Structure 1
């Protein structure tokens, strides 16, 4: 797993994006893969942590 970051896995394989949740139990929401969202979350987390 060296060099792998920012991905979601389930059952030892990379989880694919899921846009419809009706009955789906796996996958990852597209917003969770968005690099801009990740950067904003990091910035807010740093500000809150001081």
Structure 2
């Protein structure tokens, strides 16, 4: 395998992944989480292994 073939394969894989993500479900900006939640007032959701129980 040459470097050009491997790079082309990687770029094609990324393009296919983005295309699959784009066309798999329609975008809904009203239900999407904030892109950056820095000081937005949103509480973090999900688990964190280092979080101590209350």
If each structure's strand is expressed as a fraction of its own residues, which one has the higher value?
1
Q: TM-score by structure 2 length? A: 0.31
Which structure: larger Rg? 2
TM-score, length of structure 1 as denominator length? 0.33
